Amino acid sequence: MIITKRKKYTLISSDEDSFSDFFSSFLVKKNDFEKEHLVVLISDNIIANEKDFISFLDFSEKKKENGTSFVIVNSTINIDDFPDNFNIVPTIIEAEDILEMEEIERELEF
């Protein structure tokens, strides 16, 4: 797992071969990112299904509660398969847009 600090968020990209390997690495480090906005990029090399992505749901809800954003990026997904409040998108640009939209929501005190 590769951690890159960007100006407005931290990008975590997978370099493992399987979802379970990536997820285990992630769980080890997850508490380091409490105060940061997080974008998790899961490469197409990894074969993963909705159930795998949904394992991030708990983490995603905790981050929403503490006022930080969390978005998963994977180009194989179909957005309609996921709940409305779970941020998962096909490209990094869209993830950045979600971060911006959530920032605006927070500024408007919502």
Partner 1 sequence: MDQLSVEHLLGIKYLKPNDIDLIFKTADHFKEVINRPIKKVPSLRDITIANLFFENSTRTKLSFELAEKRLSADVINFSASQSSVKKGETLIDTVNNILSMKVDIIVMRHANVGAGVFLSKHVNAKIINAGDGTHEHPTQALLDSYSIREKLGSVKGKKIVIVGDILHSRVALSNIFSLQMQGAEVKVCGPTTLIPKYITSLGVTVETNLKKALNWCDVANVLRVQHERMDINYFPSTREYSQLFGINKEILESLNKKIVIMHPGPINRGVEITSDVADSNQSIILHQVENGVAVRMAVIYLLAEQIKR
Q: What residues line the site for partner 1 (CB under 8 A)?
A: 79-80, 84, 89, 91, 93-94, 96-98, 100-101, 104-105, 107-110
Helix (H) or strand (E) holding 53: helix 50-54
Q: How far is the CB of 51 from partner 1 (least distance, A)?
A: 19
Closer by beta carbon to partner 1, 23 or else 96: 96
Closer by beta carbon to partner 1, 30 or else 82: 82
The region, left, alpha or beta by phi > 0 then psi within -120 to 50, assigned to residue 67 is: left
Contact predicate 33/59, CB 8 Å: no
Q: How far is the CB of 21 from partner 1 (least distance, A)?
A: 28
* Closest by Cα among 74, 79, 103, 77 to 91: 74
CA dist 43 and 13 (Å) reads 7
Contact predicate 56/72, CB 8 Å: yes
User: What are the structure tokens assigned to 54, written together?
Assistant: 């949904």
Q: How far is the CB of 75 from partner 1 (least distance, A)?
A: 13
Closer by beta carbon to partner 1, 42 or else 89: 89
Closer by beta carbon to partner 1, 32 or else 103: 103
Q: How far is the CB of 49 from partner 1 (least distance, A)?
A: 19
